[in-house]
Amino acid sequence: MTRTLAGTFLALTFVVCGTQAQTQTPAAFQIEGDIARPTDGCNQALVVLCDRTSGEPLCRQTLQPFTTVMANTNGDDAMSWLQVIPDAAGHFQFTNLPAGNYIVVAQAWNSPLPWTNLINQSREFQFAARGPREETLHLLGRAEVTLPSDRARRIKLASPGTNSIRFAYQHDGEYVLLGTRPQRGDPVLAWLGWGTNFISHLIGFGIIPRGDGLLVHGLPAGTYASIFANDDSPGFGSMRLHFGGTNAVKIPVVAGWSDGYKIPPTNLVWLVELLETNKFNIDQLLGINTRPPARLTFTERQQAMARLVLPVWEKEITLPTGQKTRVADLLTALGYARLSGKYRD
């Protein structure tokens, strides 16, 4: 599989959620607090500042959410997130911030090289990280913060839970996102399936390395994991985690690859078969009169399509054959029908 820049694809994670940046006011405030560093030798720790409305990391240069900058520059500024390294005692501080609503997320891990970002695509890092190894990730806490407020100056982050789990290596370039809310839809929906509720409740992010995979500590009982396999034709997977087992977790990755997972949910098998044997005008069923122009970039086209379908996501529609279904279920079944190779647009 050909790997592409993770930032471009992760931008779509947030783009299709229909998020908006908060209005910026003059920077005059600060957020500071403490984390409890793990004692098992993890050599990396970061605290990342995110926008509360969207859940997106904020960019250092503009204090704007990730995709706002990505849409305008698609460059290094978008990938330079506002993050700080806690000192030896675990103290951290963000300064010169505008009034607004934020999320602070902290984690620590072991790594072959210092990361410049949670998504590190440098050649030096990729070379050092390509060998088989085990990586350990500690979730150190998440807090919602409003500026100005007294609480913003004395945040005490604590691990969100006591559970641990290991994610098995399956494919190169796999990222795992961990949160406390479920996705909006099936993994076959790709970025559309994630949703703002999932993204704005993330508690950690890691890369699953070759070898023994990724061991994660500090997970709460109600944790949801999403796999994003970075590729020209990316794959996605998701599940609610169940603790207590001894085997490494493998999340099925829904993708068009030869070893991709292509089995639809049981309740939608009938709809997949219907789409495979009937030629429906999907745009007409969804009430879409115009498609995004071809001149738009891939990211812009995906964003435009999201704006068209999200307002009717839960709407019930009647198929030409008489059956009724939700828009979300139709799009899910359409995704699996395409994967089967029996449906052609």
Entry pTM = 0.85
Q: What is the pLDDT of residue 225?
A: 96
Across 132-146, 215-229, 283-297, 306-320, the highest mean pLDDT is recorded for 215-229
Note whether 132 and 211 are within 8 A (CB): yes
The secondary structure element, H or E, covering residue 317 is strand 316-318
The arithmetic mean of pLDDT across residues 116-136, rounded, is 61
State the amino acid at position 77 in one-letter form: D
Whether residue 220 lies inside any domain: the answer is: yes
Residue 87 lies in a domain: yes
Residue-wise pLDDT tens digits, 274-292: 999 998 888 889 888 777 7
Looking at residue 8, its pLDDT comes to 46
Residue 39's pLDDT is 87
287 and 232 inside one domain: no
- Residue 253: pLDDT above 60? yes
**Bridge partners of 161?**
none
Do 311 and 193 have their domain in common?
no
What is the predicted pLDDT for the residue at 18? 47
pLDDT for 232 beyond 80: no
Q: How confident is the model at residue 5 (pLDDT cuts 50, 70, 90)?
A: very low
d(CA 233, CA 263): 18
Residues 227 and 274 grouped into a single domain: no
pLDDT tier, 245 (very low <50, low <70, confident <90, very high otherwise): confident
Task: Point out which residues pair with 226 in neighbouring strands.
Answer: 177, 238
- Identify the domain boundary among 179, 206, 240: 240
Let me know whether 14 and 123 are in one domain: yes
Strand (E) or helix (H) holding 301: helix 298-309
- Do 310 and 236 lie in one domain? The reply is no
Same domain (yes/no): 37, 130: yes
pLDDT band at 27 (very low <50, low <70, confident <90, very high): low
Residues 235, 326 share a domain: no
Structural domain contains residue 249: no
Residue 79 near residue 7, CB atoms below 8 Å = yes
Q: What backbone phi and psi angles, to 5 degrees, belong to 117?
A: -165, 165
Q: Does residue 258 form part of some domain?
A: no
The separation between CA 282 and the C-alpha centre of its own chain, rounded to angstroms, equals 27
Question: Does 92 reside within a domain?
Answer: yes
Total number of domains in the chain:
2
Look at residue 4 in the predicted model and tell me its pLDDT.
41
* Predicted pLDDT at 69: 56
E strand segments, 2-149:
29-34, 44-51, 83-84, 91-97, 100-109, 133-147
Residue 231: strand pairing partners: none
Q: Quick one: 77 and 225 in the same domain?
A: yes
Whether residue 151 is predicted with pLDDT greater than 60 in this model: the reply is yes
| 182 shares its domain with 324 | no
**Domain that residue 275 falls in:** 266-340
Note whether 1 and 257 are within 8 A (CB): yes
- Identify the pLDDT of residue 120: 53
| 233 & 296 share domain | no
Q: Using one digit for the tens of pLDDT, what is the confidence trace for 290-340? A: 777 777 766 666 677 777 888 899 999 999 999 999 999 999 999 999 999
Say if residue 314 is in the same domain as residue 206. Answer: no
Asked whether residue 254 is domain-assigned, the answer is: no
Q: Is residue 247 part of a domain?
A: no
Instruction: Give residue 168's pLDDT.
Output: 94
| Mean pLDDT calculated for residue range 96-116 | 84
CA angle 8, 9, 11 (to 5 degrees): 70
Which of 240, 255, 281 terminates a domain? The answer is: 240
- What percent of the chain shows pLDDT beyond 90? 50
Question: What integer best gives the mean pLDDT of the chain?
Answer: 83
Q: Does one domain contain both 306 and 233?
A: no
Given a cut of 50, whether residue 44 has pLDDT beyond it is yes
For residue 152, tell me if it sits in a domain.
yes
- The highest-confidence range among 19-23, 109-113, 270-274, 306-310, by mean pLDDT, is 270-274
The β-bridge partners of 224 are 179, 240
